[in-house]
Chains A and B, each alone.
Chain A
Amino acid sequence: MKPALSRRSVLKGAGVGLSLPWLEAMAATPSAKPPVRLAALYMPNGVNVDSWIPKGRGRDWELSKTLSPLESLKNQVTVVSNLWNANSKGGDGHYVKEAAILTCSTIKKTPGADIGNGVSVDQMAAQSVADQTPLPSLELGVTPVAIGVDAVVGYTRVYGSHIAWSNATTPLAREINPRSVYERLFRAASGQSNNSAKMDTLLLDRVMGDANRLRGQVGAADRIRIDEYMSLMRSLEQRVQRASAGTQRTWKARAPMDPKATPPEKPADHAEHVRLMMDMIATAFQTDTTRVATFMFGNAVSNVSFRFLEGVSAGHHDVSHHSKEADKLRQYQLINQWHIAQYAYLLQRLSEMKEGDSTVLDNSMVLFASALSDGNSHNPHRLPIVLGGRGGGRIDSGQHLVYTEDDPLANLYVSMLDAFGAPVERFADSTGPLAGLLKS
């Protein structure tokens, strides 16, 4: 455990603008066991399979070409091969797969009226610690929600734009503006003055009274919407109280945020945009503003142009349909590797964040996944998956774990929830924990 002094020295870098509650928070940071964090990074369009799979297995393995950016982190990652997501079979090539990457459920085919999926693993985790941090979870991305309904396959594009689902019918909205994420984190972490929190609480309380009256006047279906509204406002009220500066404050930031590190509102390009979002996840985890985050590199069927990469001349989805052409496969691999490099950047940052004798990465699980293996064939078998971090020491990292083709992805989530401290008997179609992932 670090002495208080070194924490203060961290504070020096924080510059002006930090208010008293901050200092209080820092001084009072308990030496309790660091919390476990969980993030999931989702890459659309699958991978060039041949360049993805590492050689060897167990502890005797080599990173593949695509995974090479993880070289310096090899002991802190676990590559998980061959799992599949049975419930995302059928339907169409993308929406069914991508919306189910964290839910392992079959989405309902609909242009919108009866949307349905399962609860996602990140939200299972978030819900278990909802009362412990200022923000329940962070949902991030770099592209807006895809518009419209895909008239060809008959799914609303809402499916392809959301991987975090708080319940079967509620996809969680994402933020794509890095500055607004930073401000949100900062506001949440700094809390409000006592008086302002008290007034906000009062305001929400009265508004809730108004909502309750309305609730009594509407029909059954509409009542569900009002109930959703009320439950969100109620939890907002609790979060306002939790992070207020006064005696009600039960949460303390684990590290300060630099108020001058505000990122630009409009990043120069796709690459900078992604990096900034990685920074936001790192900051959120380091400060303990939230313990759960999801990030989408793109929506399902994303055709973001990767011409900014040397040697790539087309868009992501376009290239993923490589028809086994050598040149397209080469470009596909470059795009995959670029994604892994961004992932490695996040892991690296977390590994540089000291937390007592460990690092934030040691206390995290950062999943990297795509919902397809080969984008050319839309196959949810042999999914490309890497898990970074040691989950608070529970994960036996530094391995290449190879399973059979019938082992469900959901088993990974059972083990991750266990390491997170939110154990479940079953998750979707799981058949048990993922053998070999957690230390026995």
Chain B
Amino acid sequence: MAKRLLFAALLTAASLPAQYTFPQAQAFLKQYCEKCHQDQAPAGGFRLSRVADPASLTSDATKWLSLTNRVKNGEMPPKGAPAPPIDAKEKFGEFVQEAVHTAACATGVAPGRSLIRRLNRNEYAATVRDLLDMHMDLAKSFPTDGAGGEGFDNAAETLFLSPLHSEKYLEVAKFAVEFAAKEYKSRARIFVAKPGPGVTPDQAARKIFDVFLPRAFRRPVTEAETTPYIELFRAAQKQGETFDNAILFALRGVLVSPNFLFRVETPNLSSEPKPIDNYALASRLSYFLWGSMPDELLTDLAAKGKLQDPEVLRQIVRIMLRNDRSVDFAQSFVEQWLHTRELSGDKAPDAKLFPEFTKDEDLRSDIRYQPVLFFREVFLQNLSLTNFLDSKHSIGTSKLAKHFGLKLALRPNQTSQPHWIELPENSNRGGLLGMPAVLSVSSYPYRTSPVLRGAWVLESILGTPPPPPPANVPPLEEAPAGKAPGTMKERLAQHRNNAVCASCHSRIDPFGFALENYDVTGKWRTEDGGKPIDASAELLDGTRFDGPAEMRKVLMERKDLFVRHLTNKMLGYALGRGLNIKDSCTVDAIVAKVKQNNYRGQTLLEEIVLSVPFRQQAGTPPAKEPAKK
């Protein structure tokens, strides 16, 4: 929500009109909406009187925000009715967002409800891997998961179940257990007891389940919950299966159980928010920073009740980051935040135009992992988050050095392994925007596009996505028929001569222009189509820059926007849901701490883990049977 606040502020030098007031907002509504939204039978059932009182900013906040969104996106006023000028729309929008936000935060922060969610395919694969202690990536057996909330595939609301999932669960469970049965380490994990003198098969089975089930369900398990699996074991034995095979059969059942497949938190049946239980907190931590189940240390701390201690939580964050599993977190977060996951699909540079890129699998892999490993290092080394905007360091390999045309100070003997390096002076490779992964994914496969790249910077870096294009105004990127195409820049200039287009494109394009020195694969270039690159640009507020280096300085001046956006993304990812107005108050508090602490990466993670929404859940009244309609 709050991330949309500042689209205009960004480009008009943060010059919010001195005092936009509630009466002014009312005047705006009166002027543009009153005609249809005030009678006895108002259009869409919405009457302006509903939002006439300042108190409605709190009591009817959702209405305020949805109407503002419709105005901002040009859905309202409808076609044919007089439309407000874009700056009047924006001033109105900013006022509403800010006013609603202030009203919501006046009553303090609050957690959301705990939502049951299934493990997404990557979490499932990692959890089976850790549970059975085996190295086998099962993720590809499942369909890809869509994303919701803040744009991640771990959002509870968009983790749907299809018949396909049910088949795959049954099938993959069998495959995984059979695979584990052949691995020494996995067998040792599973078979912690054996029948023998004085130990009946049933007793041994129970011992095995007493260890396995709490790991699989990520919490202590009652005797009643163990029973179905003992029954499965017995049924298999009755069929003549050996002890081992009967155990493995029951484990297949465990892997299909909703207690394994879903993350479930004990519901809070009171009406007040309260802390989630220790084991749920251990799972929140492990799925946030590892994308997998809690390990023994986390489980042990949960059992001892120590996870509620803020100091322990701070330490745990650092310990978890050092674990290799945090690479999974980095990959999952970064590739969705920056969209670089699409590099292996439609967005990959065209094979015929860029054969040197397509054919070199090592180079493509280095490119793909560069932002992921850079991200992990920034947090691991507790560096400033501004390194994402500009940095003296990066991740290098010999292939990347060649791709960049730079001499990089690589570690001897390790030049093919991606690692942390210091960049040479004027390398033009500092920060995310010097990385080929980002530059490719924000291009067409066959050419660069200042519009796509500019929009990418606004959305992914600054968190201020441009408004949608008005209906029936197609992109205008090619030369008009019969006219020789000029440079991309000349063509886009036409765009901005058209007033409708200009209102947005004069904001979107500049950052894209400055990145024109990079080709589709992120290689440095000084000309395109025989013409020299013109990487100069001017923002609406008159800020001028020429080329990526100067652009980075401009972005650095806007680092607070970036940090707020990253905080929104990270909190949404950590909670696995979309953020609401109340969450934006938490974001305020986290951003303030991060700034206080010199923008250090670990502060962001610690403050998220310590935050109210991460550690608590809202109350929900006890479930009733569905009411009759």
Distance in angstroms between the alpha carbons of A171 and B624 in the assembled complex: 27
B151 touches A223 (CB 8 A): no
A147 touches B167 (CB 8 A): no
- Residues on B with C-beta less than 8 A from A305 are 346, 350, 445-446
- Residues on B with C-beta less than 8 A from A422 are none
Residues of B in contact with A, size category: 35 or more
B256 touches A147 (CB 8 A): no
- B427 part of interface (Cβ distance < 8 Å): no
Q: Mark A309-340, 1 if CB is under 8 A from B, else 0.
A: 00001110010011101111000000000000
- B339 part of interface (Cβ distance < 8 Å): yes
B116 touches A145 (CB 8 A): no
- Residues on A with C-beta less than 8 A from B153 are 147
B258 touches A210 (CB 8 A): yes
Shortest CB distance A236–B (Å): 4
B162 touches A139 (CB 8 A): yes
Task: Point out the residue from B163, B229, B256, B468 that lies within 8 Å of A235, measured CB to CB.
Answer: B163
Distance in angstroms between the alpha carbons of A226 and B257 in the assembled complex: 11
- Residues on B with C-beta less than 8 A from A114 are 157
A-B contact count (CB 8 A): 237
Distance in angstroms between the alpha carbons of A395 and B155 in the assembled complex: 44
A113 touches B623 (CB 8 A): no
B157 touches A145 (CB 8 A): no
- B357 part of interface (Cβ distance < 8 Å): no
A219 touches B162 (CB 8 A): no
Q: From residue 207 to 243 of chain A, which have CB atoms closer than 8 A to chain B? A: 207, 209-211, 213-214, 217-223, 225-226, 228-229, 232-233, 235-236
Which has the most chain B C-beta neighbours within 10 Å: A110, A149, A232?
A149
Distance in angstroms between the alpha carbons of A307 and B350 in the assembled complex: 8
> With A149-B151, A156-B158, A232-B165 given, is the CB distance from A207 to B257 under 8 Å?
yes
From DSSP, what is the main secondary structure of chain B's interface residues?
A: loop
- B75 part of interface (Cβ distance < 8 Å): yes
- Residues on B with C-beta less than 8 A from A162 are 146
Q: From residue 475 to 528 of chain B, which have CB atoms closer than 8 A to chain A? A: 475-476, 478, 480-481
A90 touches B160 (CB 8 A): no
- Residues on A with C-beta less than 8 A from B149 are 111-113, 149
Shortest CB distance B259–A (Å): 6
- A206 part of interface (Cβ distance < 8 Å): yes
Q: From residue 248 to 283 of chain B, which have CB atoms closer than 8 A to chain A? A: 249, 252-253, 256-259, 261-262, 264, 266-267, 269
Distance in angstroms between the alpha carbons of A214 and B145 in the assembled complex: 24
Shortest CB distance A265–B (Å): 9
- B297 part of interface (Cβ distance < 8 Å): no
> With A136-B163, A158-B146, A218-B267 given, is the CB distance from A148 to B339 under 8 Å?
yes
Distance in angstroms between the alpha carbons of A174 and B168 in the assembled complex: 12
The residue in chain A whose Cβ has the minimal distance to the Cβ of B624 is: A220
> With A111-B578, A115-B158, A161-B146 given, is the CB distance from A321 to B474 under 8 Å?
yes
Distance in angstroms between the alpha carbons of A143 and B164 in the assembled complex: 17
- B82 part of interface (Cβ distance < 8 Å): no
B444 touches A226 (CB 8 A): no
- A175 part of interface (Cβ distance < 8 Å): yes
- B106 part of interface (Cβ distance < 8 Å): no
Distance in angstroms between the alpha carbons of A257 and B375 in the assembled complex: 49
Stretch from B91-99, B232-240, B358-366 contacting the other chain: B232-240
Stretch from A30-38, A194-202, A429-437 contacting the other chain: A194-202
- A348 part of interface (Cβ distance < 8 Å): no
Task: Point out the residue from A213, A315, A378 that lies within 8 Å of B445, measured CB to CB.
Answer: A315
- Residues on A with C-beta less than 8 A from B474 are 321-323, 376-377
Q: Mark B137-174, 1 if CB is under 8 A from A, else 0.
A: 00011011111111111010110111111110011000
A152 touches B455 (CB 8 A): yes
- Residues on A with C-beta less than 8 A from B471 are 93, 378
Q: From residue 192 to 250 of chain B, which have CB atoms closer than 8 A to chain A? A: 224-225, 228-229, 231-232, 235-236, 239, 249
Distance in angstroms between the alpha carbons of A145 and B336 in the assembled complex: 13
Shortest CB distance B206–A (Å): 16
- A154 part of interface (Cβ distance < 8 Å): yes
The residue in chain A whose Cβ has the minimal distance to the Cβ of B121 is: A173
The residue in chain A whose Cβ has the minimal distance to the Cβ of B466 is: A152
List 19 A–B pairs whose Cβ atoms lie within 8 Å, in order of A's numbering.
A111-B150, A112-B149, A113-B157, A114-B157, A148-B147, A158-B148, A173-B164, A176-B143, A199-B249, A206-B228, A214-B264, A217-B267, A219-B113, A220-B623, A223-B623, A232-B165, A233-B166, A235-B166, A305-B446
Give the top 4 A-B pairs by smallest Cβ distance, nearest first. Answer: A112-B148, A158-B146, A173-B143, A222-B116
